[in-house]
Amino acid sequence: MRNFILISLLIPALLAINSCSTIQSDKVYRNGVVVSSDKIASEIGVNALKGGGNAIDAACATALALAVTYPQAGNIGGGGFALIYLADSQKVYYLDFRETAPAAATTDMYIKADGEVDHQRALWGPSSAGTPGTVAGLYELNRRFGSKAWRDNVQPARLLADTGFFISAPLADKLVEYSEELHTYPATAAIFFPGGKAPQAGDRLLQSDLGSTLIAVETDGRDGFYLGETAQRIVDYCADNGGLISMDDLASYFPVWREPVVFGYRNLDIHCAGLPSSGGIVMGQILKMLEQFELERYTPEAPQYMHLFAEASRRAYADRSQYPGDPDFTEDLTEGLLDRAYIASRVESIDPNQATPSADILPGLPRGHGESDQTTHLVTADAAGNIVSLTYTINRTFGSKAVVPGCGFLLNNEMDDFSAAPGVPNSFGLIGGEANKIEGGKRMLSSMSPTIIFQSGQPYMALGSPGGSKIITAVAQTIINYHLFDLTIGEAVSVPRFHHQWLPDKLYLEQGGYDINTIQKLISMGHDVQERSRYSEVMAVGFSPDGAFMIGAADPRQPGGHVSGF
């Protein structure tokens, strides 16, 4: 790619710019890179690399630090997915540490007497929480592939909680925005509003209870969270406040190694999260449908390209509403959904010039054929060529809003990602069916899409994003921007985005991102266009063809996003 040829000639100049200027530019590194939603966390990840750790150690250290500095999404009370590429074996591994429904959960647990869904119970407090998977997932990553001791990766986060950190402007703004909801829970308010007042940017935030929890995790590993005092506090709080998480749920929770979804797109080999994430399936469907069109004739803001992308998305999200779910509970139809003949049948119904009403698009795969915006994503890579692409979440911003007393962390509200009732949208507007109904021990469907891409057998790009249902389209558009439209990686994550998810039948455009001519053309093609605030924060790393250097990019939509490396 010509971008790498140009940048390789300008490495010294780019490094000088990065060290002394606020000018936005792609960040180029030779020895290691960490891209995350927070500067402190990214720097802690790089310190892990500099201290002899590999990309897996850096990912664990970064994720644990985000649990301290980025509480709106960073967590030890949620769960997620990770893709790991090991250069020695040239193999991609996929770890599922998604939360699970408590054993006592039932299909109709959020249905009120009048038959309506009780969204309050599904989104607020312990009643909305699934059994957390983050600590078990990070511990398993470290156990299997890390080169540093577990305690070495936990200690920086624990010290950060104990000694405090200076609150960033984005976090201060979020605390003000969610002040009313967070004040609903005394333990939450006590941590984030000391003295009853919202902290300002630059104030120091101490989290001693979280520090105590991290001491247990540092000392006893997985057992420090899922057994003993921490676990008992979680269970007691849930029992007293309508939650269902039990000691058995915690003790029996373990992450699962699964096979990633792998598909070809033009001359790329794309590895992405598989079930119980829908990310790999839906992204694969979108890109494979679009492969039938000459998109390179367009630009990222061309209405013809936006129309084709929206039509492919419309069909892929229709399938998402019906077929994907936890593969331990429902039939895995990944192969059929990505089958060449099936993709071709979906493409046949796309009119290149006119939108198809979503009412006319149904899930198309015959049976037996063979999510908040406040998720967060990080990418790490080391000099040996190892890569981690990791997305984790507590679902909505600040999750359930409920901090476990004495533990210092927020519980997730991931139970809302199940289908509370067939055909009823969740808080992201996504429709679900039988495959994603609530069952005890089941993992709820997700849109998280950690991705690692190869070209000619060599690492090409690693990326992912928060954004609920918009994660998949944000990641897919970034891939197209970088690969087909030949943007730099910084440009690829920065340009305006658009989104269609079948239902509601609307084409969402980022506010202020598109001119009136583009909007009018899309309307004339039959799209119900609606502007919305900027969304998703893609974190990405690109790799030179010879593996000599890495280019990191943090999405400017996340003011605290940061690239660190050396």
Give CA 184 to chain center in angstroms.
Answer: 27
**Beta partners for residue 446, in sequence order:** 277
With a CB cutoff of 8 Å and minimum separation 6, the contacts of 516 are none
Q: What is the 3-state secondary structure (H, E, C) of 210-250?
A: HHHHHHHHHHHCCHHHHCHHHHHHHHHHHHHCCCCCCHHHH
SS3 content of the chain, % helix, strand, coil (to 5): 40, 20, 40
CA atoms lying within 13 Å on the CB side of residue 353: 0
d(CA 544, CA 527): 39
C-beta of residue 203 within 8 angstroms of C-beta of residue 166:
yes
Tokens of 184: 């609903």
Query: Six-digit token pair at 87?
Result: 């250069």
Active-site residue identified among 375, 391, 397, 451: 375
Alpha helices, DSSP H only, in 113-246?
119-123, 134-145, 150-163, 169-177, 179-182, 186-192, 208-220, 223-226, 228-240
Of 498, 493, 499, 505, nearest to 554 by C-alpha is: 493
Terminal-to-terminal C-alpha distance of the chain: 23
Token pair belonging to 252: 């029996």
CA distances from 259 to 83, 446, 466 (A): 10, 16, 22
Which 3 state secondary structure label does DSSP give 14? helix
The Cα–Cα gap between 205 and 361 comes to 50
Distance CA 129, CA 123 (A): 8
The values of phi and psi at residue 72, to 5°, are -65, -20
Q: What burial class does residue 223 get, using C-beta atoms within 10 Å of its C-beta: 0-12 exposed, 13-18 middle, 19+ buried?
A: middle
Can you read off the two tokens belonging to residue 411? 């519980």
CB 71 within 8 A of CB 398: yes
Q: Is 2 exposed, middle or buried (0-12, 13-18, 19+ CB in 10 A)?
A: exposed
* Catalytic (active site) residue 391: no
What is the DSSP secondary structure assignment for residue 543, as one 8-state letter? E
User: Which residue numbers are catalytic?
Assistant: 375
